[in-house]
Chain A
Amino acid sequence: MPKVGDTAPDFTLKYFDGSNLKDVKLSDYQGKKNVVLAFYVFAFTGG
Protein backbone atom coordinates (compact mmCIF):
# COMPACT_ATOMS: atom_id res chain seq x y z
CA MET A 1 0.00 0.00 0.00
CA PRO A 2 1.36 3.48 -0.81
CA LYS A 3 2.38 5.50 2.23
CA VAL A 4 1.83 9.11 3.24
CA GLY A 5 4.22 11.18 1.10
CA ASP A 6 4.19 8.72 -1.82
CA THR A 7 2.78 9.69 -5.19
CA ALA A 8 -0.63 8.08 -5.61
CA PRO A 9 -0.63 5.59 -8.51
CA ASP A 10 -2.56 7.02 -11.45
CA PHE A 11 -5.60 5.22 -12.84
CA THR A 12 -8.56 5.63 -15.13
CA LEU A 13 -11.85 4.13 -13.93
CA LYS A 14 -15.46 4.36 -15.04
CA TYR A 15 -18.61 5.41 -13.31
CA PHE A 16 -22.21 5.58 -14.46
CA ASP A 17 -23.83 8.99 -14.11
CA GLY A 18 -27.35 7.74 -14.78
CA SER A 19 -27.17 7.99 -18.56
CA ASN A 20 -23.55 7.51 -19.62
CA LEU A 21 -20.41 5.68 -18.56
CA LYS A 22 -17.74 8.26 -17.81
CA ASP A 23 -14.00 7.98 -17.31
CA VAL A 24 -12.27 9.47 -14.31
CA LYS A 25 -8.49 9.85 -14.48
CA LEU A 26 -6.78 10.59 -11.19
CA SER A 27 -4.03 12.71 -12.74
CA ASP A 28 -6.66 15.04 -14.26
CA TYR A 29 -7.10 16.52 -10.79
CA GLN A 30 -3.40 17.19 -10.31
CA GLY A 31 -2.70 20.88 -9.78
CA LYS A 32 -6.44 21.55 -9.53
CA LYS A 33 -8.03 19.70 -6.64
CA ASN A 34 -7.25 17.49 -3.70
CA VAL A 35 -8.82 14.05 -4.03
CA VAL A 36 -10.30 11.76 -1.41
CA LEU A 37 -10.17 8.18 -2.64
CA ALA A 38 -12.46 6.00 -0.58
CA PHE A 39 -12.07 2.29 -1.30
CA TYR A 40 -14.92 0.22 0.10
CA VAL A 41 -15.65 -3.45 0.24
CA PHE A 42 -18.89 -3.82 -1.70
CA ALA A 43 -21.85 -1.73 -2.65
CA PHE A 44 -24.84 -2.14 -0.37
CA THR A 45 -22.76 -2.45 2.79
CA GLY A 46 -22.52 0.15 5.54
CA GLY A 47 -20.17 3.08 5.96
Chain B
Amino acid sequence: MKNFQQNLQKLEAADTQVLGVSMDSAFANKAFADQIGVTFPLLSDWGGKVTREYGIYKDQYQAARRVNFLIGKDGKIIEEQVDKDAIDPTKIVDACERPKMKN
Protein backbone atom coordinates (compact mmCIF):
# COMPACT_ATOMS: atom_id res chain seq x y z
CA MET B 1 0.00 0.00 0.00
CA LYS B 2 2.83 2.38 0.81
CA ASN B 3 4.24 1.89 -2.66
CA PHE B 4 1.01 3.13 -4.19
CA GLN B 5 0.93 6.04 -1.77
CA GLN B 6 4.42 7.05 -2.91
CA ASN B 7 3.19 7.02 -6.51
CA LEU B 8 -0.21 8.54 -5.81
CA GLN B 9 0.48 11.90 -7.42
CA LYS B 10 1.64 10.25 -10.63
CA LEU B 11 -1.38 7.95 -10.64
CA GLU B 12 -3.84 10.76 -9.96
CA ALA B 13 -2.23 12.86 -12.68
CA ALA B 14 -2.95 9.94 -15.02
CA ASP B 15 -6.64 9.98 -14.05
CA THR B 16 -6.37 6.90 -11.89
CA GLN B 17 -8.13 6.11 -8.61
CA VAL B 18 -6.31 3.75 -6.25
CA LEU B 19 -8.41 1.41 -4.10
CA GLY B 20 -6.97 -1.07 -1.61
CA VAL B 21 -9.07 -4.15 -0.82
CA SER B 22 -8.71 -6.59 2.05
CA MET B 23 -10.88 -8.85 4.15
CA ASP B 24 -10.32 -6.74 7.25
CA SER B 25 -13.13 -4.63 8.72
CA ALA B 26 -13.54 -1.07 7.45
CA PHE B 27 -12.41 0.19 10.85
CA ALA B 28 -9.24 -1.91 10.95
CA ASN B 29 -8.45 -0.71 7.45
CA LYS B 30 -8.84 2.92 8.46
CA ALA B 31 -6.50 2.40 11.44
CA PHE B 32 -4.03 0.70 9.10
CA ALA B 33 -4.29 3.54 6.58
CA ASP B 34 -3.64 6.13 9.30
CA GLN B 35 -0.69 4.18 10.65
CA ILE B 36 1.09 3.91 7.31
CA GLY B 37 -0.05 7.26 5.93
CA VAL B 38 -2.29 5.98 3.14
CA THR B 39 -4.82 8.57 1.93
CA PHE B 40 -6.74 6.49 -0.64
CA PRO B 41 -9.70 4.30 0.43
CA LEU B 42 -8.97 0.82 1.80
CA LEU B 43 -12.12 -1.16 1.12
CA SER B 44 -13.42 -3.85 3.41
CA ASP B 45 -14.35 -7.14 1.78
CA TRP B 46 -15.70 -8.51 5.04
CA GLY B 47 -16.59 -12.15 4.41
CA GLY B 48 -14.46 -12.30 1.28
CA LYS B 49 -17.23 -12.29 -1.35
CA VAL B 50 -15.40 -10.02 -3.80
CA THR B 51 -12.05 -11.65 -3.11
CA ARG B 52 -13.61 -15.01 -4.09
CA GLU B 53 -15.30 -13.51 -7.15
CA TYR B 54 -11.93 -12.32 -8.33
CA GLY B 55 -10.55 -15.82 -7.71
CA ILE B 56 -7.76 -14.72 -5.41
CA TYR B 57 -8.84 -16.21 -2.12
CA LYS B 58 -6.07 -18.40 -0.81
CA ASP B 59 -7.23 -21.34 1.32
CA GLN B 60 -3.79 -21.77 2.79
CA TYR B 61 -3.95 -18.38 4.51
CA GLN B 62 -7.74 -18.04 4.60
CA ALA B 63 -7.13 -14.66 3.01
CA ALA B 64 -6.52 -13.02 -0.33
CA ARG B 65 -3.35 -13.26 -2.33
CA ARG B 66 -1.57 -10.03 -3.07
CA VAL B 67 -2.80 -8.97 -6.48
CA ASN B 68 -2.95 -5.62 -8.26
CA PHE B 69 -5.30 -4.95 -11.16
CA LEU B 70 -5.23 -1.91 -13.37
CA ILE B 71 -8.70 -1.37 -14.80
CA GLY B 72 -9.25 1.03 -17.69
CA LYS B 73 -12.09 3.49 -18.13
CA ASP B 74 -13.91 0.90 -20.25
CA GLY B 75 -13.98 -1.44 -17.22
CA LYS B 76 -11.48 -3.87 -18.73
CA ILE B 77 -8.33 -5.10 -17.07
CA ILE B 78 -5.19 -3.58 -18.57
CA GLU B 79 -2.46 -4.99 -16.32
CA GLU B 80 -2.23 -7.38 -13.42
CA GLN B 81 0.47 -8.26 -10.93
CA VAL B 82 0.36 -11.32 -8.67
CA ASP B 83 2.02 -12.25 -5.35
CA LYS B 84 5.65 -11.13 -5.15
CA ASP B 85 5.37 -9.11 -8.36
CA ALA B 86 2.56 -7.11 -6.80
CA ILE B 87 4.82 -5.50 -4.20
CA ASP B 88 6.47 -3.15 -6.69
CA PRO B 89 3.74 -1.28 -8.60
CA THR B 90 6.10 0.24 -11.19
CA LYS B 91 4.52 -1.70 -14.05
CA ILE B 92 1.10 -0.31 -13.19
CA VAL B 93 2.34 3.23 -12.66
CA ASP B 94 4.11 3.08 -16.02
CA ALA B 95 0.98 1.72 -17.72
CA CYS B 96 -1.09 4.58 -16.31
CA GLU B 97 1.32 7.09 -17.73
CA ARG B 98 0.99 5.80 -21.25
CA PRO B 99 -0.63 8.60 -23.24
CA LYS B 100 -3.70 6.58 -24.24
CA MET B 101 -4.65 6.16 -20.59
CA LYS B 102 -5.20 9.88 -20.19
CA ASN B 103 -7.89 10.04 -22.87
A residues whose Cβ falls under 8 Å from a Cβ of B: 1-11, 13-18, 21-22, 24, 26-27, 29-44, 47
Contacts and interface: CB of A to CB of B under 8 A. Distances in A.
Interface residues of B, number: 62
Interface of B: 1-4, 11, 14-24, 26-32, 35, 41-45, 49-51, 53-56, 61, 63-80, 82, 86-87, 89, 92, 96, 101
Contacts of B76: 5-8
Q: Interface on chain B toward A: helix, strand, loop, or mixed SS?
A: mixed
B20 to A, nearest CB: 5
A42 B63 contact: yes
Contacts of A3: 77, 80
Nearest to A3: B77
A11 B21 CA distance: 11
